Amino acid sequence: MKISIITITYNSEETLEDTIKSVISQSYKNIEYIIIDGGSTDGTMDIVNKYKDFISTIVSEPDKGIYDAMNKGVERATGDLVGILNSDDFYANDTVLQNIANKIGKNDGIYADLVYVDRVNTDKIIRYWKSKEYKEGSFLKGWMPPHPTFFIRKEIYNKYGNYNLSLKSAADYELMLRLIHKEKISITYLPEIITKMRVGGQSNASLSNRLKANNEDRMAWDINNIDPKFYSLYLKPIRKIGQFLKKP
């Protein structure tokens, strides 16, 4: 099975090298690595070119935002399975993709656990997102898997579509809601930390951004013509509180 990994980057010279190294050091070797850059003006492309022999596809051009860049990557992916690893993130160890390949079986998708780490001291864990097994209806209770751990088969993108560009911060949520809750693709859970994510994501950067993200969460349901419970969108941020209290 070929696994396509897509890295989205823009002016990420401080963190990108960690991301690239975590992909090219994987013990699983049937990897197609795709980097989609938004036209960086810093040293990002110098880092990309340093590792170009390990990268299958490199694109550097202006885009319409992070989800447009993800769609560009998905469209270019030729692997059986597709995962997205942004330029602030990196895999927790060199057996991540081997474990993903071993676990997915005949399922359409797979997800795992994630930790948020300090931007400088990446050994310092800030939050621990333990996903737990999916049960039908979990989205109604505020559940979602961490997107940087989510892998799906390319044929699922072909069948149900890519990221919705009408959303600016919740297109990943909408995609997973659409695929898992609405279309009921088959997924499995790998109960281990596979991704480390530096703190400072756009949707959580401020209260204003958090409110906008909640607005877009509602739009994600509306776009798919499905109704959440009255408590669903309140439970989604509430569930995150426990991530600050638990430690792996």
pLDDT band at 16 (very low <50, low <70, confident <90, very high): very high
Q: What is the pLDDT of residue 203?
A: 44
Residue 217 has pLDDT above 70, yes or no: yes
The pLDDT-based confidence of 211 (bands split at 50, 70, 90) is low
| Residue 93 clears pLDDT 60, i.e. is over it | yes
Mean pLDDT of 133-157: 98
Query: Average pLDDT of the chain?
Result: 95
Q: What does pTM read for this prediction?
A: 0.94
Lowest mean pLDDT among 51-60, 132-141, 184-193, 238-247: 238-247
pLDDT digits (tens, 9 = 90+) for 59-83: 999 999 999 999 999 999 999 999 9
Residue 190 has pLDDT above 60, yes or no: yes
pLDDT band at 116 (very low <50, low <70, confident <90, very high): very high
Is the model's pLDDT at 229 over the cut of 50? yes
For 25-39, what is each residue's pLDDT tens digit? 999 999 999 999 999
Q: What is the mean pLDDT of residues 182-206?
A: 85
User: Cα 93 to chain center, whole Å?
Assistant: 17
User: pLDDT-based confidence at 209, cuts 50/70/90?
Assistant: low
Domain 3-245 coded CATH 3.90.550.10: yes
